[in-house]
Amino acid sequence: MPQAATAKAKKSGIRTLQPGEVMFKENDPAQSLFIIQKGQIRLFRPKGRGFVDLAILRSGEVIGEMAYFDEKSRRRSCSAAAIVTTDVIEISFVAFAKTMQGLNPWFKTIINTLANRLRKTNERVKELESNSVGFGAGGKVADYVFFHTTDIMRALSTIYLAFKAHGEKLESGQYQIHMNKLKFYLFDVYNVPEIKFEEFLNILKDEHYVEMAKDDDGLPKNLRMRNPDQLRSIAIFMNQQKLVEDEKKLKISSKCERFLSRVLEQLKTADKPQAQADISAILADFKERNVPITDADFQDAIVAGLAEDLLVGTGNQLTSVINIDKLRKVFPAIRLQNAIKRMNEAKAK
């Protein structure tokens, strides 16, 4: 840690962390503990090329207090980063020590005993974790993957079933379910890891599959979506892809996905299984907007059977016959699949 940052860390006060900003890293010198005032903090430990996620902490919870009791090293036992914009109150160990000195001796003994037991448990977890290694093809160590296909299918299926069982249809045509009901199924019944659900929910919100609305208490805990059956279709698609050989899987790049999004917009009124798209018009718009997408980026769609080969017409105009029914059916899954891929790549760095 830079000297300037170290000096600053000794002072107590409020800090604001931006999404993804690292508050501290494993084995960093520790001089403060933190109380989350608003937001979410992710705790994780580096492992191989990626991370092992430990927990998500929210408003009112404390971070970094264990380092205070680890007088031998005063080092961080894991890393911490903000998931969303987060405000934390930083309390220096010097200030915290003064508070501890004012406690009853027996109460201080209880706190130290609990801290020692928790530290030993953490050490045991680390030992077990270090002996757990994933392997890929040919016995080689597999690359780190945060979201596996089974994680996504379990979360999608659980959300879909919860919406079907408890979803309320609103006048707007959307369906709504309270997060408390949803989390009962996710965590208590189907044992979906909380850290993975929180990150997956962020993807669903960012990609506009779902949105959050306030409940009767004014808290953003109502999950809303237009068509819960879309989640079922995506889960079915992913299950089918899981059973297909790698070379036969449907692979659409992010650039091709953006291309196909424009095709869908252009053909939104098409009422037949196939329709002709004006590819030149889309390319011209990309060029005008300085978007680095060319006709070569459309090749994934042709290979996947979503479109036929490009045709060159009068004035070098490019067109393609689009399998519009198939594209409409699989495009939501393509979007989600690419968003998950980007998340996995980001977490593996």
Give the pLDDT confidence of 101-150 residue by residue, as tens digits. Answer: 777 777 667 666 766 666 565 555 555 444 444 444 444 444 567 888 88
Question: Is the pLDDT score of 10 beyond 60?
Answer: no
* DSSP code of residue 185: I
* Res 64: pLDDT: 80
Express the helix, strand and coil content of the chain in percent, nearest 5 each. 50, 20, 30
* 75-79, 183-187, 265-269 — most confident range: 265-269
Question: Is the pLDDT score of 258 beyond 70?
Answer: yes
Which long-range CB contacts under 8 A does 225-230 form with residues at least 24 apart?
225/163, 225/174, 225/175, 226/173, 226/174, 226/175, 227/175, 228/159, 228/160, 228/163, 228/164, 228/167, 228/175, 229/160, 230/332
* Res 144: pLDDT: 65
- Compute the distance between CA of residue 328 and CA of residue 333 in angstroms, rounded to an integer: 10
* Res 116: pLDDT: 65
Quick one: which H or E segment has residue 63?
strand 62-63
* Architecture per CATH, 3-130: Sandwich (2.60)
Question: Is the pLDDT score of 215 beyond 50?
Answer: yes
Question: With left for phi above 0 and alpha for psi between -120 and 50, is residue 229 left, alpha or beta?
Answer: alpha
As assigned by CATH, the class of the 250-325 domain is: mainly alpha
For residue 50, what pLDDT band results from cuts at 50, 70 and 90?
low
Where, residue-wise, is CATH 2.60.120.10 in the chain?
A: 3-130
* Res 192: pLDDT: 81
- Compute the distance between CA of residue 154 and CA of residue 152 in angstroms, rounded to an integer: 5
Residues contacting residue 190 through CB under 8 Å, at least 6 positions apart: 154, 158
Higher pLDDT, 292 or 199: 292
**Other beta carbons within 10 Å of 82:** 22
* Res 114: pLDDT: 65
* Res 102: pLDDT: 74
Fold exhibited by the domain 149-246: Arc Repressor Mutant, subunit A (1.10.10)
